[in-house]
Amino acid sequence: MTTDIKTEIDFLPETDSSAALLEVRDLHVEFRTRDGVAHAVNGARFRLQSGQTLAILGESGCGKSVTAQAIMGILDTPPGFVTKGEVLYRGVDLLKLSEDERRRVRANKIAMIFQDALSALNPVFTVGFQLGEVFRKHLGMSRADAKKRAIELLDMVRIPAAAQRVNNYPHQFSGGMRQRVMIAMALALDPEVLIADEPTTALDVTVQAQIMKLLAELQAERNMGLILITHDMGVVADVADWISVMYAGRVVEEAPVHDIYARPAHPYTKALLESIPRLDLKGQQLNVIKGLPPNLTAIPSGCAFHPRCRYARDACRVDPPPPLYETGSGTTAACHFWKEVRGGE
Amino acid sequence: MSDVVLETKDLVKHFPITRGIVFQKKIGAVRAVDGVTLQLHRGETLGVVGESGCGKSTLAKLLVGLEKPTSGSIVVRGTDIARLKGNEMRRARRHIQMVLQDPYTSLNPRMTVGDIIGEPYEIHPEVAPRGERRRRVQELLDLVGLNPDHINRYPHQFSGGQRQRIGIARALALRPEIIVCDEPVSALDVSIQAQVMNLLENLQNELGLSYIFIAHDLSVVRHISDRVAVMYLGKVVEIGDDTQIYEKPTHPYTQALLSAVPVPDPTLRGQRDEIVLEGDVPSPANPPSGCRFRTRCWKAQEICAEKEPLLVERERSAHPSACHFAEVRDVVHAVE
C-alpha cells in the first residue's frame, strides 16, 4: 500500500516515545441514571506496548466496553462520566486534551472496531464513500483520491475485486466482509493502537478464524498495539500475549496468557476456566459459578466477587476491596487468598 | 438406547422466491433444508452443528411443526406428524417441545411467569385439570431451579439465565418425550452457560428426555451430545458419535469447522492443524452442483461437481460422511 501522504501527527508536543504506548491508570467511569449511579468501571488499569496484544476478558457488564469507549473518548456523556483516572498515550493524558485534539488522536493514533459491523456502517452510503471519509476529513483529500485510497484499503483486508466492491452498499457485503471493511476503516491512518471490541462475536467460527488471522497479520506488519476485548477464552488463548481479567469494573487479574490458563490466581478466572466446555475434551465436569454478575448500581462491599466465590471468607466481605497483589514478575491478582487459589483447594 | 423416538426421512423445506405483487410467480427456491434423514433414540442427545444459514433452525421448526415440510416425513410414535392437521396435529405436538434461543424475546413481557409456563395447559387441558395447574407450574419452577414463590413475577424481573430456565420449564410443562433446543445457551454469559447446560443434563437423566440440541458452538455441542450431525447448506454432511466427529472427522467441512474453533489453552497455539476456509457460504437459493462444499474445499476434483456424494460409510470413514474423498484428519489436538 502506498503511504505517500503521512499525516501530520506531531500535534501532541509532550509525547515521550520511551513511555508505554498506552497506559490506563485507575480509571473510573459511572453512569448517572434515573435508577441511581451505575459504577461501570472502578479502577481499571493496564499497559500496552507496541506490537503487543492485550486481551481484556470479562462477561457482559464487567466494564470492558465502557473502558474502551473512555479510552477513545466516545463515551455517551451524559449519562456516562469519567470521574477519575488517566489514559496515557506515550505519556500524554488523553483525558486532559481538548475535544479537537482528541478527535485527531482518534483514527490517527488510536482506532477502534466494533462488534456489530452492520450497525456500525451507514446503510445509505457506499462502502467506498465511508472509507474515504477518513481521508477527506483527516487529510483533506479530494473525493477521487479518497476513493483510490479506499480501494487500496479494501485490497489490504483481502476483499476480492476491490475496485468493484468499493461502490457497493454495506448490505451487499456478508458479515465477515463488513468486519473487514471496519478493520480497513480503522487502519486507514496507520494507528499505533487498535482497540477491537468483540470483533468476531457476531460471526461464524470459520469466518472468525479468517478475521483473527487477518488482524494478526496486519498487526505484525505494522507493529501495532492491539487491545482485544472479548468474553471468549478460546480466542484469547490463540492470540493474546497478556490478559487482564475484569469483573464488576475492576481488573481482578493480570498475567501473561500462559500463566492465566496454567495457574490462575483469582477465583473468578479459575472458575471461568472450569466452566467452559472444551472442544478437545469429553466428559469433563463443568464447574458452575453460582449466582449472577453483580448489579452495577449496588456492587457488593469488599471483593465484588465474594457472593459467588468458593474461597470467600469474612475478610472478603468488608471494604476496602482486595488490592492487586503482586503474584509474580508483573503479574497481579486482586484476591486476599491468591496463594491458596493458585495452589489448589 | 435402540428405541427410536423420532425419525426424519428425506426432509425437505424449500422457501419459494417470488416475483410480482398480484400474480406472484415463483422464480426459485431457497433450499433451507434439502433432504435430511435423522434418527433420535430415547434418552439421547443429538447435536446439530453448522454455520448460520445451514438450515439448522429451519430443521428445528420443521420438527416441532412450526413449518410444513415441502416433502419428506417426520415420524414420532409411529405417526408421520408432517401429514397431520388440526386436532391430531395439536395432540402430536405435545410430545415434542422447543426451547428457543433468545430468552429476552421468547417470553411475553405482559404475562406472568405462571401464565407463561401454564399456557401449554390451556391448549392441552387434558394434561392438567384447571385446579391443579398452579401447583404444577410451581413444581416446574422448582424443577428448573427457580423459586416457586416467584410465580407471579414478570419476565423482566429475571436475569437472562433465569429466563432461559423459564423457557425450559415451559417446554417441560406437557411432559414431552423430545425437546428441540435451538441455540439455548448462545445468548447467555459464559458463567451462566454452564448452569443451563448442567440443568438440561440433569433434567434428561431425571425425566428420560431426548434432545435435539442445535448450536453453532462446537465445544458446547460436544459437551452435551451423544451423537453429532454436521450440516452444510441444508444437508447433513457427516454424522457420528462424538468421538467419531471430534477425534476422527472425515469430511473436509467438519475438519475446517473444528480447526477454526479456538481451544482455551495457549499451549496448543500453533500446534494444531490449521485450515482457514476461503470465502463465504454460497447462497442456498443457488447451491453448487454435486457436492455443495466443493467451492470452498481444497480436495475438490471434477467428480465433486458432477456427482453428489451420499451420506454413507466409506472405506476410510467408519461413520457416514458425504465426501468422495473422506479421510480421517485430527484437527482438534496438537500435531507434530
CA angle B66, B72, B78 (to 5 degrees): 80
Question: Given this model, what pLDDT does residue B2 score?
Answer: 58
pLDDT tens-digit profile of A100-155? 888 888 878 899 998 887 788 899 999 999 999 888 888 888 889 999 999 999 98
Question: Given this model, what pLDDT does residue A208 score?
Answer: 86
Amino acid at B181: C
pLDDT tens-digit profile of A244-262? 999 998 999 999 998 888 8
Q: Which helix (H) or strand (E) holds A251?
A: strand A250-256
Contact at CB, A292 and B246, closer than 8 angstroms: no
The rounded distance, in Å, linking the Cα atoms of B102 and B121 is 23
Q: Minimal Cα distance from A175: which residue of B?
A: B280
Q: Is residue B218 part of a domain?
A: no
Calculate the CA A10 to chain-centre distance. Answer: 25
The position carrying cell 452442483 is B289
Q: Which domains does chain A show, CATH number per domain? A: 2-240 (3.40.50.300), 243-277+286-345 (no CATH)
Sequence-separated (6 or more) residues with CB below 8 Å from residue B322: B235, B236, B237, B238, B251, B291, B309, B310, B311, B312
Q: Is residue B278 part of a domain?
A: yes
pLDDT tens-digit profile of A33-89? 888 888 889 988 889 999 999 999 988 888 888 899 899 888 888 888 899 899 998
Nearest one of A189, A85, A174, A207 to A132, comparing CA atoms = A189
Nearest one of A68, A75, A183, A77 to A120, comparing CA atoms = A183
**Which residues of chain B are within 8 Å of residue A284 when distances are taken between CB atoms?**
223
Interface of A with B in 198-257 (CB under 8 A): 204-210, 213, 231-238, 240, 257
**B317 touches A: beta carbon within 8 Å:** no
Residue A92's DSSP bridge partners are A89
Q: Is residue B266 part of a domain?
A: yes
pLDDT tens-digit profile of B137-174? 999 999 998 888 999 999 988 888 889 999 999 999 99
Question: Given this model, what pLDDT does residue B336 score?
Answer: 62
Q: Is residue B290 part of a domain?
A: yes
Question: Given this model, what pLDDT does residue A27 score?
Answer: 92
**Which residues of chain A are within 8 Å of residue B220 when distances are taken between CB atoms?**
277
pLDDT tens-digit profile of B107-134? 999 999 999 999 999 988 888 888 889 9
Interface of A with B in 79-138 (CB under 8 A): none
**pLDDT category, B45, cuts 50, 70, 90?**
very high
* Mean pLDDT (whole number) for B231-252: 92
- Per the structure, the complete domain to which residue B297 belongs is given by 249-336
The rounded distance, in Å, linking the Cα atoms of A28 and A63 is 10
Sequence-separated (6 or more) residues with CB below 8 Å from residue B174: B94, B95, B97, B120, B121, B124, B127
**pLDDT category, A344, cuts 50, 70, 90?**
low
Question: Given this model, what pLDDT does residue A6 score?
Answer: 45
Better-predicted residue by pLDDT, A46 or A13: A46
* Mean pLDDT (whole number) for A276-302: 82
**pLDDT category, A11, cuts 50, 70, 90?**
low
Question: Given this model, what pLDDT does residue A241 score?
Answer: 92
- Closest Cα of chain A to B121: distance in Å? 31
Question: Given this model, what pLDDT does residue B217 score?
Answer: 87
**Residue length, chain A?**
345
β-strand A53-57 against B178-182: which pairing, if any? unpaired
| ipTM, two decimals | 0.79
Is it the case that residue B327 has pLDDT exceeding 80?
A: yes
Q: For residue B264, give the nearest of A205, A207, A233 by CB distance.
A: A233
**pLDDT category, A3, cuts 50, 70, 90?**
very low
Q: For residue B264, give the nearest of A177, A213, A273 by CB distance.
A: A273
Question: Given this model, what pLDDT does residue B167 score?
Answer: 92
**A275 touches B: beta carbon within 8 Å:** yes
Q: What percent of chain B has pLDDT over 90?
A: 44
What is the number of helices (H) and of strands (E) in chain A?
A: 13, 12
**Residue length, chain B?**
336
Task: Enter the C-alpha cell of residue A21.
Answer: 504506548
- Closest Cα of chain A to B80: distance in Å? 34
**pLDDT category, A229, cuts 50, 70, 90?**
very high
- Closest Cα of chain A to B89: distance in Å? 35
Q: Would you say B242 and B282 are in contact if contact means Cβ atoms under 8 Å apart?
A: no
Is it the case that residue A282 has pLDDT exceeding 80?
A: no
- Closest Cα of chain B to A309: distance in Å? 12
Q: Would you say A218 and A183 are in contact if contact means Cβ atoms under 8 Å apart?
A: yes
Q: Is residue B309 part of a domain?
A: yes
Three-state secondary structure call for residue B160: helix
Write down the mean pLDDT value for chain A.
86
Contact at CB, A234 and B261, closer than 8 angstroms: yes
Q: Would you say A85 and A26 are in contact if contact means Cβ atoms under 8 Å apart?
A: yes
How many domains does one find in chain B?
1
Q: Is residue B268 part of a domain?
A: yes
> What is the distance in angstroms between the CA of the first residue and the CA of the last residue of chain B?
38
Q: Is residue B335 part of a domain?
A: yes
How many other C-beta atoms can be found within 10 angstroms of the C-beta atom of residue A239? 20
Interface of A with B in 71-90 (CB under 8 A): none
